[in-house]
Structure 1
Amino acid sequence: MSTILVVGATRGLGASIVQTYAANSNNHVLATARASEPPADTKNITYVPSIDLEHPDAGSKLIKFLESKNLSHLDVVIITAGYFATESLEEPSFSAQERMYRTCVIGPTILVTALANKDNKLLDSKSKIIFVSSESGSITLRHQQEGGGNYGHHASKAALNMSAKLLSLDLKERSVAVASVHPGFMRTEMTRGVGFDKFWDEGGAVTPDVAAKSLIEWIETFDINKTGQYWAPRGPA
């Protein structure tokens, strides 16, 4: 049986990843929620309450939960949690940028270091760590016609890609495979909330369940030979 941890698992891509993995009875899925009363557990889904990446104690809370369930190894860790607030040159936001950095890069990085420092068994040569990023964090793919703005969201994704690279170097001796991925343009409440739904059709946006399926299929092929790289399983669309 494989144990899969999905951080940010109650909506959007995270929720779809949970359900896709749980459809295989050989998987045990740990699904984190920010709420203190998450959805009810099922046969092979265990919800972890009160895990908020904006707070520095998320890692220690998660470790305590794993210990309480006698879980000593994680095969796959997928961190999907994110936050997107729009900004422009005329209307930047210090507070929104702070929240985006905490949620999109600081929290995920600190959480993984907590798991890595627990012991050498929780994450080992059979473990894979996947950070869900975005092509918006790619400096090379950013072009004039797309314009500027959205500083906190795009820059935090670029920072997440760098953190994934650095963690891959730190964990390579342990043969833990680490990658950041662009799961594809999706039809979610997040993209709708920032007005990107007007680009859904033109951009070929897919539903989270479609993106989850292609991401999980890619994770099956991912190993230490691809560690430290940035991938787009559905292409750069």
Structure 2
Amino acid sequence: MRNILIVGATRGLGHSLAHQYAKAGKTVYATARYSVPQSPVAGIHWIGNIDIAKESAGRLISAHWQEETKIDVLILCANYFAEETLDELNWYKQTKMYETVAIGPVFLIKHLVDAGILKKGSRVVLVGSENGSVALRHETGGAGNYGGHGSKAALNMVGRLLSIDLKERGIAVAIVHTGYLRKENREGYFETGDKNAVKPDEAATSLRRWIDTFDMCQTGQFWAVRGAADIKTAEAVLGPLEKLATPLQLPW
């Protein structure tokens, strides 16, 4: 595994992954939605103006690519989430969530496959959330956030379908829940967040460890790489937490 492409790498999980992989000696290609960071890090090759919610994202990445260079691992971290209640729905925000989370990735991956950048042996990791699991929805977890849950559920379906279409090409696809992340404020401090929420660096370390074991045997599957500790409904749906494995394959 030499070449890593991380879509959505300017902050949070993507930022941590890019820096950890670069520090480990990997060649990292990282995208930014707007301009690239002003203080580039050795080993990270930035591609700016990549908006996954636009059909052109995959073509723009391909235009920056060297034809002989294969993507060994593609990690899609780009995300958009807006809180909602049934009493306060927002059409624009819901549409944007679906475009960013579930529609854009399909077009991006297709363009990279067509360009010969994703090919036999490549692995695709779609960063989703346990929020997308229909089976894990339970009264103990509440409701609301229709666009957030719905777009993640759509990503699960997208990932499953892509795994079937790309299996004969030797490309593995999986969806992962990396755990809830503590948010960094403008002063550079991390908020406490929900119970069991972790800093992006911790989640990135867990995801990298899982990716090291990811191959065609897990293609089309949905995994919680840090286990079920931060999944509020896990015990009600799956049983006692102490009996659940880490990493944990999640139900759809």
Q: Which aligned pairs between 1:138-177 and structure 2 lie closer than 5 A?
A: 138-177=133-172
Question: For residues 144-192 of structure 1, what are the alpha-carbon distances to aligned partners after superposition, in whole Å with 9 as ceiling and x for unaligned?
Answer: 12221100011000000110110100110011110000001110259xx
| Alignment counterpart, residue 95 of structure 2, candidates 89, 98, 106 | 98
Query: In the TM superposition, what is the alpha-carbon distance from 1:116 to its structure 2 partner?
Result: 1.1
Query: In the TM superposition, what is the alpha-carbon distance from 1:36 to its structure 2 partner?
Result: 2.9
Question: For residues 78-116 of structure 1, what are the alpha-carbon distances to aligned partners after superposition, in whole Å with 9 as ceiling and x for unaligned?
Answer: 000101101101001100001101111111121011111
1-structure distance, mates of 2:126, 2:184? 20
Where does the alignment leave 5 or more consecutive residues of structure 2 unmatched? 186-190, 231-252
Structure 2 residue aligned with 1:51: 50
Where does the alignment leave 5 or more consecutive residues of structure 1 unmatched? 191-196
Query: In the TM superposition, what is the alpha-carbon distance from 1:124 to its structure 2 partner?
Result: 2.5
Aligned residue for 2:24, secondary structure, equals coil
Aligned residue for 2:30, secondary structure, equals strand
Contact 2:6 2:29 in 1 (8 A): yes
Judged with a 3 Å threshold, the aligned counterparts in structure 2 of structure 1 residues 18 and 71 are, in CA distance, closer, same or farther, namely: farther
Which letter maps to 1:77?
L
Contact 2:94 2:147 in 1 (8 A): yes
Aligned residue for 1:4, secondary structure, equals strand
Q: Which aligned pairs between 1:117-136 and structure 2 lie closer than 5 A?
A: 117-119=114-116, 122-136=117-131
Which letter maps to 2:156?
N
1-structure distance, mates of 2:20, 2:226? 17
2-structure distance, mates of 1:71, 1:210? 33
Structure 2 residue aligned with 1:14: 14
1-structure distance, mates of 2:152, 2:87? 22
Aligned residue for 1:78, secondary structure, equals strand
Contact 1:38 1:48 in 2 (8 A): no
Which letter maps to 1:30?
Y
Contact 1:3 1:76 in 2 (8 A): yes
2-structure distance, mates of 1:129, 1:37? 23
> Sequence identity, in percent?
46
Aligned residue for 1:168, secondary structure, equals helix
Structure 1 residue aligned with 2:209: 217
Question: For residues 24-48 of structure 1, what are the alpha-carbon distances to aligned partners after superposition, in whole Å with 9 as ceiling and x for unaligned?
Answer: 12x1000000113434443211011
Structure 2 residue aligned with 1:194: none
Q: Tell me whether 1:185 sits opposite 2:185 in the alignment.
A: no
Contact 2:31 2:47 in 1 (8 A): yes
Query: In the TM superposition, what is the alpha-carbon distance from 1:71 to its structure 2 partner?
Result: 5.2
1-structure distance, mates of 2:33, 2:145? 25
Structure 1 residue aligned with 2:226: 234
Which letter maps to 2:21?
Y
2-structure distance, mates of 1:12, 1:34? 14
Judged with a 3 Å threshold, the aligned counterparts in structure 2 of structure 1 residues 221 and 15 are, in CA distance, closer, same or farther, namely: same
Contact 1:128 1:176 in 2 (8 A): yes
Judged with a 3 Å threshold, the aligned counterparts in structure 2 of structure 1 residues 37 and 215 are, in CA distance, closer, same or farther, namely: closer
Question: For residues 125-150 of structure 1, what are the alpha-carbon distances to aligned partners after superposition, in whole Å with 9 as ceiling and x for unaligned?
Answer: 32110000000001111111222110
Contact 1:7 1:14 in 2 (8 A): yes
Number of residue equivalences: 224
2-structure distance, mates of 1:150, 1:219? 29
Structure 2 residue aligned with 1:82: 79
Alignment RMSD:
1.6
TM-score when scaled to structure 1? Answer: 0.90
